[in-house]
Amino acid sequence: MLKQRPVYLDLVRIRLPLPGIVSILHRISGTLLFVVGIPLLLSGLAASLESPESYADVKAAFANPLAKLVLLGFLWAYLHHFFAGIRFLLLDLLKGIDLPSARRSSAAVLALSLALTLILGLRLW
């Protein structure tokens, strides 16, 4: 007897488990950091090293609340990517590969990245 395959998958109704969400966020944060974060960081660094006036301009640009929000987003992306990367390295070493441990480590990645982003964001603001 052949199993009926669904023709249409409603991706909104599919409930992804927490380790899957952490995995997707790891990929999104890595892409965001690579495509946008590195060029932005390098251009800001280059501009700040040109002259004292350009350094003051970069400093004034980062004092803008919108720039601080963007910086906060990149900070979360970095922290999430860092902690999720450590989690995936441990999974590659077969540490915490059972389902309860995987769920706990996923929750820890989310909690750590959000908590440190909040703490550093309060310091930034």
Domain span at residue 82 reads 18-124
Neighbouring CB atoms inside 10 A of 63's CB total 9
Query: Number of folded domains in the chain?
Result: 1
Average pLDDT in the chain: 92
58, part of any domain:
yes
95 within domain boundaries: yes
- DSSP letter assigned to residue 9: -
Taking only the tens place, the pLDDT of each residue in 12-35 is: 787 889 999 999 999 999 999 999
Per-residue pLDDT, 1: 67
DSSP one-letter string for 23-64: HHHHHHHHHHIIIIIHHHHHHHHHHHHH-HHHHHHHHHHHTS
Domain annotation covers residue 93: yes
- pTM, 2 dp: 0.84
| Domain assignment present for 71 | yes
48 in any annotated domain: yes
Reported as a single tens digit per residue, the pLDDT across 30-84 is 999 999 999 999 999 999 999 999 999 999 999 999 999 999 999 999 999 999 9
Contact, 28 vs 37, CB < 8 A?
no
The model's confidence at residue 6, banded by pLDDT at 50, 70 and 90, is: low
8 domain residue, yes or no: no
Are the CB atoms for 57 and 47 separated by under 8 Å? Answer: yes
CATH of the domain at 50: 1.20.1300.10
pLDDT, position 9: 72
